Structure 1
Amino acid sequence: MLEQTFIDVTVEDAIKKGLDIMNVSESQVKIEVLNAGRKGIFGIGKQNAEVKLIVIDPEVKREKTIIPIIEQSSDKNIDETPKVTTPEKNIEIKSNRKQQSLELVKEYVLQVIDAMGYEASIEIIYKNKDEVFMNISSAEASRIIGRRGQVLNSLQVLAQNYFNHLEKGFTIITLDIENYREKRRETLENLALNMSKKAIATGESVKFEPMPNYERKIMHQILAKIESIETYSEGREPHRYLVIRSR
């Protein structure tokens, strides 16, 4: 098995260097991130990224420089050169690449939390092919959650944006810690029901404070069952808020 280790400023730079030196494409290697690196603060604690590239099929590399000689034939019924890559292999490579990207996102989030001064670990949970949970464990859970989930929500935005930078496919990343998301859902549903009663009783619109899109969606869904009110959102992100109005 052919394998080499490469070091550079970022993981992406180290991978690019390795591919160039080994003269292979990304689809021909398995990538292991040995060290995601860190920027440090004012240069202190800075570390370069380190990756290991393992050639999946060494024969591919050995045969890469061989130029095949194909004799021309007048028989038009002769089949064309068979394709090398099978659909099954494509699926496997795509899955491996996605897992590698998620590992990079995981390390990125841990670096941010570390820069905040907290220790944490993350478990990646594949809910389905289009949705991934990253469950955080830390003794400083309340600080990582922040006021009404603001810190956790910010970390989630960073994670999603970084993954979107690495991958073109559609995948939703949700960060959670100590089952906060489910507890928050229950809080939002109870709040929505209580405020709907207020809107019906007073006949006046009730406006909530700004909240993320997925939290507004939770409230829209629970209130959609009540026929005597209507809900809609106003404002622009990130200050968009929910309004309940009696019909």
Structure 2
Amino acid sequence: MKKIVVTGKSIEEAVKNGLQQWNTTEDRVKIQVLEQPSKGLFGLIGAKDAKVELELIPDAIEEAIHFLEDVSRTMSLQIRIEKKDGKDGPELHLFGSELGMLIGRRGQTLDALQYLVNIVANRYSSSHLRIVLDAEQFRERRKKTLEDLADRLADRVIRTKKEVVLEPMSPQERKVIHAKLQDHAKVRTFSRGEEPNRRVVIVSR
């Protein structure tokens, strides 16, 4: 935990001095009064300033970003991180020249990193957070690939009258397939199996 001890003519002034040092707001700190101010003899001799200890309350998203920065440094990667407010919650977008290492095959490394990012963030959050981690719009490109796959396989099911079982996917990717075909007139989907080998199945209605 990051802490500082600051002084001022009053408790309020001491707190203000500490907030200015950290360039933060009062809702981001815990305040402990160490010494009350005193005017001293005749209001002059022996006067003492107020002394307070400020403890910075960690911000979950900032801690997640620090974690990603540490990972990238360990891998000798230069990345830029942008925070965005997505429709389902906070999103962290990574930009850089060698992000393939962080994405991995079909996004498996990115999914693993997203899992760790959420563990880190939720250690510092009072309510459950679900952060989406993306790199160079990989999620959107992968979503388009999966939607196209869903359409092609639905056509195959209609043509052959046989069910199609997809390869194991993450819950997020299965959700894309289900959402794409949920209103299809001739096929329906469901999931089969246990994690991490759970698969989408497409069958005729």
| TM superposition score category, shorter chain reference | 0.7 to 0.9
Q: Specify the alignment match of 1:123 in structure 2.
A: 82
CA-to-aligned-CA distance 1:162-183 (integer Å, 9 cap, x gap): 1122213133211111111111
* Relative contact order, higher structure (CA 8 A, sep 6+): 2
In structure 2, how many angstroms separate the alpha carbons of the residues matched to 1:242 and 1:168? 34
Q: What is aligned with 1:205? A: 163
> What is the aligned partner in structure 1 of residue 154 from structure 2?
196
In the alignment, does 2:60 pair up with 1:101? yes
State whether structure 2 residue 56 is matched by structure 1 residue 112.
no
Identity of aligned residues (%): 30
Opposite residue 158 of structure 1, the aligned amino acid is L
Q: Taking structure 1 as reference, are residues 101 and 230 closer, same or farther at Cα in structure 2, changes over 3 Å only?
A: same
Which string of whole-angstrom CA distances, capped at 9 and with x for unpartnered residues, describes residues 83-112 of structure 1? xxxxxxxxxxxxx968x2211111102212
Secondary structure of 2:162's counterpart equals: coil
> Equivalents in 2 of 1:184, 1:97: separation in Å?
37
Pairwise mapping of residues 61-140 of structure 1 onto structure 2 (< 5 A)? 100-127=59-86, 131-140=89-98
Does 2:203 correspond to 1:245? yes
1:218 positional shift:
1.0
RMSD: 3.2
- Cα drift, residue 196 of structure 1: 0.8
Tell me the TM-score normalized by structure 1: 0.61
Per the alignment, residue 9 of structure 1 pairs with none
CA distance 1:54–1:120, change in 2 (3 Å): closer
Q: Give the paired residue count.
A: 175
Whether contact under 8 Å (2:60, 2:122) holds in the other structure is no
Write the mapping of 1:226-237 to structure 2, written as runs, cut at 5 A. Answer: 226-237=184-195
Residues 1:160 and 2:118 aligned together: yes
CA gap of 1:231–1:179, structure 2 versus 1, over 3 A, is same
Question: Could you say which residue in structure 1 is the equivalent of 2:12?
Answer: none
Pick aligned residue for 1:225 from 183, 186, 191: 183
**Residue in 2 that maps onto 1:25:** none
TM-score for the superposition, normalised by structure 2: 0.72
Structure 2's unaligned 5+ residue stretches are 7-14, 38-55
2:9 paired residue number: none
Query: Counterparts of 2:25 and 2:204 in 1: how far apart (Å)?
Result: 64
Normalized per residue, which structure has more strand? 2
CA contact (8 A) 2:60 2:123 kept: no
SS at match of 2:61: helix
Inter-partner Cα distance in structure 2 for 1:149 and 1:55: 38
Which residues of structure 1 form unaligned runs of 5+? 1-13, 23-27, 33-51, 67-95
After superposition, the C-alpha distances for 1:50-72 in whole angstroms (9 at most, x for unaligned) are xx697849xx7559869xxxxxx
